[in-house]
């Protein structure tokens, strides 16, 4: 927990120096909402949801096609925003003073590679979804494969930002960097996620009690206010967590390739972000 807290503080120090870095996750969040709406509404009017509930095989095929396209567009939006965030964070770690436009410029210049990586991610997402639908065993296998995939691809976005290689080579490069730096037995320390998960839990519990109290008081206004406040707080935590994760990825890549994070992070803490192979 102490190491996790150090990572959060170091990432937050970068965010505090460049508060506009928080705008990239906000753009991603808005984009995800718009993409979801743009796919959901046509599916409703096309009767795809009704066809699936009735077991229509043709609708199942249509759902698979639409699902893949949804994953593709969704991942493109998310990866584009993450690339902009990591690109801007890299500038800050290198001693520069990035603007919001700098990050989006970096993402635009790599748009073709982002599409390629989104295609790979969408394909993996569809495969994991298909496996997870095979009952409890499928869900377990899907979770394990998804965990490994997340570890191997953790540094893909920084690689796309810095190195002039394609998405397939970027995935390989990400795995090589992790293996080279921390050994084959990678045990990811998702400490930052644990910190923000705990924070969300701390907010969620009193929030639920407040909602129950508002419902018991039969006050519609108070109930709406309580729900809105809880949702806004949880979304805010998620956005800050996303920004800090992108900053951490940039620092970790810089450390893996240059041996230094750029001064904002304690390099000894970064070295301990993954446990090295024993023996």
Whole-number pLDDT of residue 95: 84
pLDDT at 53 over 50: no
Residue 277 DSSP symbol: P
Lowest mean pLDDT segment, chosen from 69-78, 151-160, 217-226, 263-272 = 263-272
| Residue matched to tokens 């410029």 | 105
| Alpha-carbon span 53 to 209, nearest angstrom | 35
8 Å CB contact between 115 and 97:
no
CA 11 to chain centre: 15
Q: What is the reported pTM?
A: 0.82
Tokens of 210: 């407040």
> In b/e form, how buried is each residue of 74-83, taking b as 16+ CB within 10 angstroms?
bbbbbbbbbb
| Alpha-carbon span 76 to 80, nearest angstrom | 6
The predicted-structure confidence for 36-45, as pLDDT tens digits, reads as follows: 998 887 766 6
Task: Grade residue 4 by pLDDT with cuts at 50, 70 and 90.
Answer: low
The predicted-structure confidence for 75-97, as pLDDT tens digits, reads as follows: 999 999 999 999 999 998 888 88
| Alpha-carbon span 123 to 116, nearest angstrom | 11
194 membership: H or E segment, kind and range = helix 191-216
8 Å CB contact between 28 and 82:
yes
Number of Cβ within a 10 Å radius of residue 146:
16
Q: Where are the domains of the chain?
A: 2-271
CA 178 to chain centre: 18
């Amino acid at each position: 927990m102490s190491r996790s807290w150090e990572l959060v503080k170091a990432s937050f120090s970068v965010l505090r120096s460049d508060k506009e870095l928080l705008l990239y996750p906000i753009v991603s969040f808005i984009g995800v909402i718009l993409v979801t709406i743009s796919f959901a509404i046509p599916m409703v009017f096309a009767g795809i949801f009704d066809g699936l509930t009735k077991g229509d095989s043709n609708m199942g095929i249509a759902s698979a096609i639409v699902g893949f396209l949804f994953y593709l567009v969704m991942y493109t939006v998310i990866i584009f925003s993450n690339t902009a965030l990591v690109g801007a964070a890299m500038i800050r770690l290198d001693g520069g003073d990035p603007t919001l436009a700098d990050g989006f410029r970096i993402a635009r210049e790599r748009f073709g590679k982002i599409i390629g990586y989104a295609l790979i991610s969408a394909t993996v997402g569809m495969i994991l979804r298909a496996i997870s639908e095979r009952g409890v065993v499928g869900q377990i296998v899907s979770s394990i494969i998804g965990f490994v995939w997340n570890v191997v691809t953790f540094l893909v976005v920084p690689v796309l930002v810095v190195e002039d290689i394609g998405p397939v080579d970027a995935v390989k490069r990400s795995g090589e960097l992790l293996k080279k730096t921390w050994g084959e037995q990678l045990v990811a320390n998702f400490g930052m996620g644990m910190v923000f998960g705990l924070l969300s839990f701390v907010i969620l519990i009193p929030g639920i009690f407040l909602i129950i109290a508002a419902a018991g008081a039969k006050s519609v206004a108070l109930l709406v206010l309580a729900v809105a406040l809880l949702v806004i707080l949880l979304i805010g935590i998620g956005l800050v967590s996303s920004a800090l994760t992108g900053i951490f990825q940039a620092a970790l890549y810089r450390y893996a390739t240059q041996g230094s994070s750029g001064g904002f992070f304690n390099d000894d803490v970064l070295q301990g972000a993954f446990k090295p192979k024993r023996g």
